[in-house]
Chains A and B, each alone.
Chain A
Amino acid sequence: MISTLPAVRAEIAEALAAVDGLYVYDVLPTAPELPCAVVRWPELLTYTETLAGHASLTFRIGLYCSSADDAAGQGQLAGFVTSIPAALAAHTTTTYRALNIVSASDFRTEKVGEATAYAFDITTTLLA
């Protein structure tokens, strides 16, 4: 792996920070502010994909919006699901490359800190 895992997660978080109104965390927070995106640990890390030593990584980015108001929370979540791919694609970096936004899945309600949130995951792959 060329870049460190914390550096990759921080860089993805920086890309997500371009989305208006979204709190971003590159480590799992105990009491996050909502709405937020959390760059989780990679779901899969495959070592040595190139002669230079790049790894391929699959990340699930968790999106969380307050469920205090059903319509508002789900509407906000839908907005982020729509806008985040463009923010990730527009971000330029040398920390990773070949970022591909694969899918969004697993809509659910989840306890986040003291609050309950609507949650959705965006899956990306990249080389780093």
Chain B
Amino acid sequence: MSDIQLTGSLTIDSVDVADKVSSFVIRRTRTGVTVPATLGNIREVDKAGALKEVVEINFFSDQAAASLWASLYDAIDTDSAEITFSGTLEDGAASTDNPGFSGTFVVLGIDTGADVGSLRQQSQTYPITADGITKDTGS
């Protein structure tokens, strides 16, 4: 296992897109709920509030009919704009030391095109649906 993000696997909408993705980050955050100080406790305390999960993805996009860009472009036109993903952040099958992650995210935005002479790429942040992210340890 490596501390460095090297190769891994990623499918989006059941299409292998690992060769198009230069960054994939699952970000899970809890909002902080502040409990004020009381007469009985001078300390203001932050408690964990709502859980929010998003995926941050940077990808290259060609204009092919079967491409990541095309999948996202089509997804945003659907009522729910939802699309599934699954992957591991290291090579090999999902295991306790290389967990697989899967879920469904909501396509809230998709860009088309780029500056002339530059690589068509974009970074997007998509929220995970209410079902959350599944962590698969292969067991």
Contact = CB atoms under 8 A, between A and B. Distances in A.
Interface string A79-104: 00000000000000000011010100
A57 interface: no
A52 B7 contact: yes
Interface residues of B, number: 17
A52 to B, nearest CB: 4
B117 A100 contact: yes
Interface in A40-84: 48-54
Given A98-B60, A127-B60, A51 B10 contact: yes
Majority-rule SS of A interface residues: loop
Interface of B: 6-10, 18-22, 24, 60, 62, 87, 117-119
18 contacts: A48-B7, A49-B22, A50-B7, A50-B19, A50-B20, A50-B21, A50-B60, A51-B7, A51-B10, A52-B7, A52-B19, A53-B6, A53-B7, A98-B60, A100-B117, A100-B119, A102-B117, A127-B60
